[in-house]
Structures are given as C-alpha cells and as structure tokens.
Amino acid sequence: MAKDYYATLGVRRDASQDEIKKAYRRLARELHPDVNPDPETQERFKEITQAYEVLSDPNKRQMHDLGGDPFAGAGPGAGGFGAGFPFSDIMDAFFGTAATSRGPRSRARRGRNATIRVELDLSESAFGTTRELVVDTAVLCEVCHGSGAAAGTHPDTCDMCHGRGEVSQVTRSFLGQVMTSRPCPQCGGYGSVIRHPCQECSGDGRVRTRRTIKVRIPAGVEDGTHIQLAGEGEIGPGGGPPGDLFLEIVERPHTIFERRGDDLHCTVAIPMTAAALGTSLTMETLDGNEEIDVRPGTQSGQVIPLYGRGVQRLNESGRGDLLIHVNVETPGKLTPEQETLLRELARLRAEERPPGKFTPGQQGFFSKLRDAFQGR
C-alpha cells in the first residue's frame, strides 16, 4: 500500500509549503534520535523525514498525489537524506535558523565609518558655523570604476566553483547522506577571479585621496556631540557604498563663561561699597557688551540673570540664560581715613559689636550618607 505522507506529517492534502515545514519542524524536535534514542522513535523520525523530502519537493509531491513512486529511478540513499534534501531544515527545527542559500558573495562591500574631531569656540557652538574639513579617505577608482580589473579586462568566472562561490561535498552519517557547502578556496566565495588587477588600485576598486567638504554645524552643539554625515565616509571595497562620517565636537574653554547645558555662568567681583550703594557694570555677553544694574544691598552669592543670553537650544527654538554670580569683596587694607569713615558708619548702624547670626553648616554628601545609615 502506498504511503500517505500527508498523514505521516499530520497535514491536509492542500497544505501550503509553510504549513508542511512547520509540521515537520515540530515533529523533528520531538522525534530526533538525540532526544529520543529508542529504535521505534528513530524509525518514526525516518518516516517523517521521508515524508518531508517528498512534500517539500514540488515534483515529488505531484508524483505522490498522482499515485506514483516519488523515488522511482533514484539512486542510493533514496527515501533517506538525498543529495538534494534541505538538511538545514533539521537544524532549523532545533536552532530556529532559516535555511539560506549563500551563493557567490559580492565584491562590493560597504565602506567603513570615519570620525573627525572638530574644535569650536563657545560662540560657534552657541550660534552654529560652517567649516571646511579636509578628509583623508578612500574614493572610487576612476580607472576600473570599482571592478578591480585592469582596463579592457573583466573578472573571469571561477573554474573551480563555476561561479557559485561555494563547493559542495556529500558525506554519509547515521542519518543518511548529508551535503555540506563551504566557500570556494580558489575565488574566496566571489564566484569570479580577477586575473589582471587594476594597476591604479591593485584590484581593490578604490584609491585613497584627500578631499575637502563643507559642513554646517548646527547651533546648540556642545562638547561631546556627534554629528552624522550619511554617505560621507570612505567608499567600500569593490566600489561598494560609502560609510558615514561622524563629527565629534570639542568645545574650547571660555575665558569668562562656564557652560552648563544651554545656560552660561560667570562670576563678577564688586567692592562692598558698590554692593551696598548699587552700581552699574559693563558686562561682556555672546551678543556684545551690555549694561547691567547691581541693586543696592546686593549680597555676595546673589545671582543676576540675563534671560535669553545663553546658548541656542539644539534643534529647538529659544536660548538659555546668562547667570551672573556676584562676589562681594571686603577690603583687606584700609588707610587711616578709610578706617575712620568705616568706624563712623559702624557706629551709626550700631554695628560696632555685632552679635552675629549663626546658621547650621551645610553637610557634605558623605556626611549625609553616614547620617542616613546611622538612622538620623
């Protein structure tokens, strides 16, 4: 009686190739000899393997549907793992990897990415700038146009693998015949051999050169920012697509301002008389000099904000602020006349013997951590 391979795999007669493959993988995981070594299970595994070999081949499946013998005229190993059996489906059943056909690989490969450090002043980072950068990179060979072959020649088909890029070998195992493939040792898996390399690029399809590119640095970048320029890297071997060029921003320290995000900070020192009476100062900003007012009674450590005088926000509208920290200086040496005037001022303010105002000191990080562990 003819075997019913559909019943063997537990699928309908109109099952699709995907349904047949899924059914085989499920059964193979259950019945593989490495999982169930008993003889009955091994025999069952051979049956489902034979059923899959038939139903996965359109010609053998058609012959089976017509009532014929799908293995008629087959050589040794028929009904087991024939030379054309997709053995990778067994591996796929256990490792979940799809069967793929390698074939000849292309000589053209994507080029490598490159990184260039770009140093900027604070004003350039804040408002953006345009730079011309000199890049040492690989470009397409103008003689062979990426083929790697000398002018008037072309790569020849490999006579070992006949253009397939791989050679196959059939071995026998306890599962039957197994076909394995490996890259062709003569052509390296390319399927072709360059017998006359281009003298300009030595067969690589590209040459190194120096070129100048103009790039726009957006406003708001800061130290450590990376800017990607797609397709501006080096050309790949064999004339492959170029990689990307990355710009790493290095911001030079400013003599006055310290940048914290989009805000700028600076410190201005004023005498105690100016802090007490109030004054005006000419302040340097990224937008030029500006007059700022110091209110009477300003204390040391007080902050005077200049809104919108900081750095442009990256890819957003608006700017950060400029924060001016005031440091009130106390004179260390006084002339007799100055000392007399200050003592008179102290007498008028009843501050000749001030009582003083004590406040708790600020705890450092490790002191707070210690107190937390001690339950305070």
Nearest to 295 by CA among 311, 276, 313: 276
User: Across the chain, what does the average pLDDT equal?
Assistant: 83
Q: Can you tell me the distance from the alpha carbon of 126 to that of 308, in angstroms, rounded to the nearest whole number?
A: 12
User: Span 33-60, mean pLDDT?
Assistant: 82
Is 177's pLDDT higher than 90? no
Identify whether the C-beta of residue 116 lies closer than 8 Å to the C-beta of residue 245: yes
Catalogue the long-range contacts made by 276-284 (C-beta closer than 8 Å, 24 or more residues apart).
283/324, 284/256
Least confident range from 8-17, 176-185, 264-273, 281-290: namely 176-185
What's residue 97's pLDDT? 40
Is 239's pLDDT higher than 90? no
What percent of the chain shows pLDDT beyond 90? 45
What's residue 176's pLDDT? 59
What's residue 246's pLDDT? 93
pLDDT, tens digit, for every residue of 111-153? 999 999 999 999 999 999 999 999 999 999 999 989 899 988 9
Q: What angle in degrees, to the nearest 10, is found between the helix axes of 39-55 and 17-31? A: 170
Identify whether the C-beta of residue 240 lies closer than 8 Å to the C-beta of residue 230: no
Residue 54's H or E segment, with its range, is helix 39-55
Identify whether the C-beta of residue 300 lies closer than 8 Å to the C-beta of residue 274: no
Nearest to 93 by CA among 181, 16, 9, 14: 9
Residue 89: count other Cβ atoms within 10 Å of its Cβ.
18
What's residue 104's pLDDT? 83
User: Span 173-198, mean pLDDT?
Assistant: 81
Q: Can you tell me the distance from the alpha carbon of 101 to that of 106, in angstroms, rounded to the nearest whole number?
A: 14
User: Span 162-169, mean pLDDT?
Assistant: 85
Q: Can you tell me the distance from the alpha carbon of 191 to that of 193, in angstroms, rounded to the nearest whole number?
A: 7
- pLDDT band of 3, cuts 50, 70, 90: confident
Residue located via tokens 């805000």: 263
Identify whether the C-beta of residue 329 lies closer than 8 Å to the C-beta of residue 272: yes
What's residue 85's pLDDT? 46
Is 279's pLDDT higher than 60? yes
Q: Can you tell me the distance from the alpha carbon of 331 to that of 297, in angstroms, rounded to the nearest whole number?
A: 17
Residue located via tokens 């030379």: 83
Residue located via tokens 């139903």: 55
Name the DSSP class of 107.
S
Least confident range from 66-75, 133-142, 209-218, 306-315: namely 66-75
Nearest to 161 by CA among 190, 128, 195, 200: 190
Is 269's pLDDT higher than 90? yes
Is 155's pLDDT higher than 50? yes
Q: Can you tell me the distance from the alpha carbon of 346 to that of 287, in angstroms, rounded to the nearest whole number?
A: 42
Residue 270: count other Cβ atoms within 10 Å of its Cβ.
17
Q: How far does Cα 22 stand from its chain's mean position?
A: 35
Identify whether the C-beta of residue 234 lies closer than 8 Å to the C-beta of residue 111: yes
Nearest to 225 by CA among 310, 119, 111: 119
What's residue 367's pLDDT? 57
Is 245's pLDDT higher than 90? yes
Identify whether the C-beta of residue 286 lies closer than 8 Å to the C-beta of residue 122: yes
**SS percent in the chain: helix, strand, coil, step 5:** 25, 30, 50
What's residue 36's pLDDT? 67
**Domain annotation for the chain: domains and CATH numbers:** 5-95 (1.10.287.110), 104-146+203-253 (2.60.260.20), 258-348 (2.60.260.20)
What's residue 94's pLDDT? 45
pLDDT, tens digit, for every residue of 341-375? 988 888 888 887 877 666 675 555 445 545 555 55
Least confident range from 29-38, 188-197, 210-219, 311-320: namely 29-38
**Largest Cα–Cα distance in the chain?**
129
What percent of the chain shows pLDDT beyond 70? 81
Between 372 and 215, where is the model more confident? Answer: 215
